[in-house]
Amino acid sequence: MFDLIVLGGGPGGYLAAERAGAAGLSTLLIEKNKIGGVCLNEGCIPSKTLLNSAKIYDHACNGQKYGVTAENAHIDQPAVVARKNKVVRNLVAGIKHSLKTSNVTIKEGFGKILGRENGVIRIMVGEEVFEGQRLILATGSETVIPPIPGVREGLADGTVLTNREILDLQEIPATMVIVGGGVIGLEMAGYFQTCGCQVTVIEMLDHIAGAADRELSILLQKAFEKKGIKFFLKCQVTGIGPGYVEFKDQNETKRAEAAYTLLSVGRRAVTQGFGLETLGVQTERGHIVTDAQGQTNIPGVYAVGDVNGVWMLAHAAYREAEVAVNSILGKKDLMRYQAMPSVLYTNPEMAFVGETEETCKEKGIEYRKVTLPMTYSGRYMAENEGGDGIIKLLIDPVRNRLLGCHLLGSYASEIIMSAGIMIETEMRVDDIKELIFPHPTVSEIIREAIFHA
């Protein structure tokens, strides 16, 4: 009998298990595939490892404007993938070690919930049945496979890829079509175009980059178009065949060449096939419904990470895991989402936190905006010849507090957290003006923008 069973060993599950084990709860973690989940094995970390290789290659190819010439630079894709695998192996080993030192019992295999009797939850793995007082569901999400003619055949012969296979592709193809211009699609578009592939992105919406502020998503699209990536917006893919993708652009049927096609139209929570219904857990539009403590409608049953459908981000899963475990331990804690940072690890990077102009308008929030080119930062100028990044701040004119921060440019991923803190702690603009930023850093752009507010 365990105090806690955690189902799924991705960021939500492994961190919940680690925290619970470290706090003295007897904890069982069940994982059917690989500890680390999507994030470590086929998501965040592998994609960022590849993108770093592309960045180095890009520097080598375009160093002339900085007075550096490199000859014969080329991408060795099998070596890039091999390094990615090494990074993943090391990180997964580190997590397993942390779980061990936190006294977590790991059970490899598919966990099937059998139900709850007299308050005890029973889960079967293979032939064994485990019992627990409480359960954290962290079964994550899976790639949506759109019902497009040709997809099934393409997946079978390996020319249609999901995020899983693309990260192990051993070659840089001449052409690639990416179906879906969200975060995953754009990061992979950037990688393959930089490495010499002709990439076409086909997106159903009239903009790329999902929930990003529209002004910045347009700028990112322009930066990508300059690199040679082709975009078709408001277009629907109607078929995939050998070497091509067919799509409807208004009333016209068009074709784009595609040695490979990446499907990146979205991800869906994993809520079926493992006995969730035996507990009577409430789901809504395909994901598990939770309260501010991460608890489902069933007392003692929690859901963290992608499976609750709130934010499909690893850092959201981490924090939700901590909140759920704290709640189990009887500590006061609750999930707040107003300062959730989002990052696109594209080149240029995009990062944002808080409200966008679009969400302000939707919610009827009054705002004042400040937009500045990144060239106000000396470090940005030193490192980005001809760079056209920007910062946009949205400010509450009544309370004089930051509502949103949107960055396009180098180090955006590392800087965004400082704006997140300002929003989370509800700092006043006058307080932000008193903060000291290290010089010269690109982060100073926040200080510059706030003085223009």
Which string of x and - marks every residue 238-277 that binds ligand FAD (by CB under 6 A)? --------------------------------x---x---
Is position 349 an interface residue for ligand FAD (rule: CB under 6 A)? no
| Six-digit token string for 280 | 């009577």
Is position 312 an interface residue for ligand FAD (rule: CB under 6 A)? yes
Q: Exactly one of 122, 214, 315, 369 binds ligand FAD (CB under 6 A); which one?
A: 315
Q: For CA atoms 213, 215, 218, 224, give the dihedral sign.
A: negative
H/E stretch holding 116 reads: strand 111-117
The residue (of 32 and 368) whose beta carbon lies closer to ligand FAD is 32
Determine the interface stretch with ligand FAD among 38-46, 62-70, 373-381, 434-442 (rule: CB under 6 A).
38-46
Is position 185 an interface residue for ligand FAD (rule: CB under 6 A)? no
Is position 313 an interface residue for ligand FAD (rule: CB under 6 A)? yes
Q: What are the backbone angles phi and psi of residue 186, rounded to the nearest 5°?
A: -70, -40
Is position 88 an interface residue for ligand FAD (rule: CB under 6 A)? no
Q: Exactly one of 25, 44, 216, 446 binds ligand FAD (CB under 6 A); which one?
A: 44
Is position 150 an interface residue for ligand FAD (rule: CB under 6 A)? no
Is position 139 an interface residue for ligand FAD (rule: CB under 6 A)? yes
Distances (CA, A) of 26 to 17, 101, 170, 332: 9, 13, 43, 21
Min. distance of Cβ 53 from ligand FAD in angstroms? 16
439 flagged as catalytic:
yes
- Assess contact for 288 and 136: CB atoms under 8 A: no
Is position 31 an interface residue for ligand FAD (rule: CB under 6 A)? yes
Q: Exactly one of 111, 182, 309, 420 binds ligand FAD (CB under 6 A); which one?
A: 111
Determine the interface stretch with ligand FAD among 81-89, 138-146, 153-161, 247-255 (rule: CB under 6 A).
138-146
Is position 404 an interface residue for ligand FAD (rule: CB under 6 A)? no
Alpha helix (H) ranges present in 127-182?
A: 151-157, 163-166
The span from the CA of 139 to the CA of 31, in Å, is 9
- Cα–Cα nearest to 304, from 108, 141, 115, 114: 141
- Cα–Cα nearest to 430, from 453, 411, 409: 453
The residue (of 306 and 357) whose beta carbon lies closer to ligand FAD is 306
Is position 141 an interface residue for ligand FAD (rule: CB under 6 A)? yes
Phi-psi region of 27 (alpha: psi -120 to 50; beta: other; left: phi over 0): beta
Min. distance of Cβ 61 from ligand FAD in angstroms? 25
The span from the CA of 443 to the CA of 382, in Å, is 14
The span from the CA of 453 to the CA of 371, in Å, is 9
Q: Exactly one of 4, 5, 12, 450 binds ligand FAD (CB under 6 A); which one?
A: 12
Is position 7 an interface residue for ligand FAD (rule: CB under 6 A)? yes
How many C-beta atoms surround the C-beta of residue 229 within 10 A?
23
Min. distance of Cβ 47 from ligand FAD in angstroms? 5
- Assess contact for 195 and 50: CB atoms under 8 A: no
How many C-beta atoms surround the C-beta of residue 256 within 10 A?
22
254 DSSP β-pair partners: 247
Residue 402: burial class (beta carbons within 10 Å; 0-12, 13-18, 19+): buried
Is position 30 an interface residue for ligand FAD (rule: CB under 6 A)? yes
- What is the residue whose two structure tokens read 């993943």? 88
Is position 309 an interface residue for ligand FAD (rule: CB under 6 A)? no
The span from the CA of 150 to the CA of 231, in Å, is 21
| Six-digit token string for 440 | 């010269």
Min. distance of Cβ 221 from ligand FAD in angstroms? 20
How many C-beta atoms surround the C-beta of residue 23 within 10 A?
16
- Assess contact for 236 and 204: CB atoms under 8 A: yes
# residues contacting ligand FAD (CB under 6 A): 35
Determine the interface stretch with ligand FAD among 72-80, 299-307, 370-378, 435-443 (rule: CB under 6 A).
299-307
H/E stretch holding 256 reads: strand 252-257
Min. distance of Cβ 440 from ligand FAD in angstroms? 27
Is position 420 an interface residue for ligand FAD (rule: CB under 6 A)? no
Min. distance of Cβ 370 from ligand FAD in angstroms? 27
The residue (of 155 and 370) whose beta carbon lies closer to ligand FAD is 155
Q: Give the rounded distance of the alpha carbon of 415 from its chain centre.
A: 17
The residue (of 12 and 404) whose beta carbon lies closer to ligand FAD is 12
Find the catalytic residue in 59, 74, 439, 452. 439
Identity at 451, one-letter amino acid code: F
Is position 184 an interface residue for ligand FAD (rule: CB under 6 A)? yes
Is position 418 an interface residue for ligand FAD (rule: CB under 6 A)? no
Is position 169 an interface residue for ligand FAD (rule: CB under 6 A)? no
- Cα–Cα nearest to 88, from 50, 47, 121, 40: 40
Q: Point out which residues bind ligand FAD (CB under 6 A).
A: 7-13, 30-33, 37-39, 43-44, 47, 110-111, 138-141, 163, 184, 270, 274, 305-307, 312-315, 317
Question: What amino acid positions are annotated as catalytic residues?
Answer: 439
